[in-house]
Chain A
């Protein structure tokens, strides 16, 4: 089969790459016998290759300085080990930082909260029956006391004495009226309580009842 000049030149190039099929070699050979232009082209490519190879060999055909094998081995494995050490160290530092951040977060979240789960319940100090002076004890947690109404007492005066509102007394004792009678016993709620006046020993029962305690009886009588 006849090939064109362009096809012949392409085959000449592929021949220089040693990539011709046998059938293509045959076609090219046949064309070059009859085509002087393509024959000259093939000669030019051969001449070029004849100049290229020796000049490259002359310029770059040197031998290298021999490498030190021991040095290569030490440096390549030292690098591998140092990479491993660096990776381990980075992982440890990362873990320590994470632990520190977590602890800081926990402290900020729970550290200032005195009523949190770690706090120990503070038991209220019961008020002894004999003390009743200006230095009456303070109750740190809420509770209730029994108070016996005196002759001159009113709901307002009792509330004032205990530093609470009349409404608190009414609600606490589930009173239907504001009337109090002499000898009546009222339950007085006490949270951080400091009595405003001297109270007689008979005014208080000996029992301090913490709010919510199963022993808390129904508040006062009315």
Chain B
């Protein structure tokens, strides 16, 4: 694990902070080097979390910025008993869900207007469709998108972000037993989708 040393010209690049207390207090004080360390350490993870929920990279970049702005403003209120990563992920998740809600409202409005004015609905292929390479992936991907949000999020946090059950429980604010239960149910549904493909 790399440790910050002040002798480097660009000390932030490739650095991992081993003392979160020091990092937090320096960020609160407005130390730009500390802020950079904090941001660079979690920037990619936060972006990928946002992207996995909203599915759009431009929106995900916007959510990343909002997350870090909110985190820097709220740092004085951060309680060190919580993991910094889990705290940051919670903020990112809240912003992502908010963006998703707004998008769904706009889509519903668009559907209504399309119906009122009898416009021809244009079906646009999503960029994700181009990434699907075979039937199995298509079956699993379709089934994943059809999952209820509370099941989908635990699958994403477990299999994409590779978080532990304890970390997922902390981020979502629910018990580990509930996380196990939701993962089991989600896997069953995805497994059934694969089985249907096999014709079982």
Q: A residues touching B (Cβ–Cβ < 8 Å)?
A: 10, 13-14, 16-19, 44-45, 47-49, 51-67, 69-70, 72-73, 75-77, 79-80
Contacts and interface: CB of A to CB of B under 8 A. Distances in A.
A17 B141 contact: no
Contact of A72 (B68, B131, B141, B191): B68
B11 interface: no
B52 A60 contact: yes
Nearest to B179: A17
B43 A66 contact: yes
Residue among A17, A67, A79 with the highest chain B CB neighbour number at 10 A: A67
Given A13-B187, A52-B155, A73-B30, 18 more contacts: A13-B184, A18-B165, A44-B191, A48-B140, A51-B140, A52-B140, A53-B160, A55-B137, A56-B52, A56-B159, A58-B131, A61-B48, A64-B57, A66-B43, A69-B36, A72-B39, A72-B65, A77-B30
Query: Which 7 pairs between the two chains have the least Cβ-Cβ distance?
Result: A64-B47, A76-B72, A56-B160, A13-B184, A69-B36, A60-B52, A60-B51
B103 interface: no
Contacts of A53: 159-160
B193 to A, nearest CB: 9
Nearest to B156: A56
Nearest to A68: B65
Interface in B10-65: 30, 32, 35-36, 39, 43-44, 46-48, 51-52, 57, 60-61, 64-65
A18 B162 CA distance: 11
A52 B32 CA distance: 39
Contacts of A52: 140, 144, 155, 159, 190
26 contacts: A18-B164, A44-B195, A45-B187, A48-B140, A49-B159, A51-B194, A53-B159, A55-B132, A55-B140, A58-B131, A60-B52, A61-B48, A62-B57, A63-B47, A64-B43, A64-B44, A64-B47, A64-B61, A66-B43, A67-B64, A69-B36, A70-B32, A72-B72, A73-B32, A76-B72, A76-B73
A69 B131 contact: no
A53 B128 CA distance: 15
Nearest to A53: B159
Given A17-B183, A72-B69, A44 B39 contact: no
A75 B70 CA distance: 10
A118 to B, nearest CB: 52
Nearest to B185: A13
Nearest to B68: A72
A131 B191 CA distance: 123
B39 A69 contact: yes
Given A48-B140, A55-B132, A69-B36, A13 B159 contact: no
A48 B73 CA distance: 41
Given A56-B52, A64-B43, A67-B68, A72 B35 contact: yes
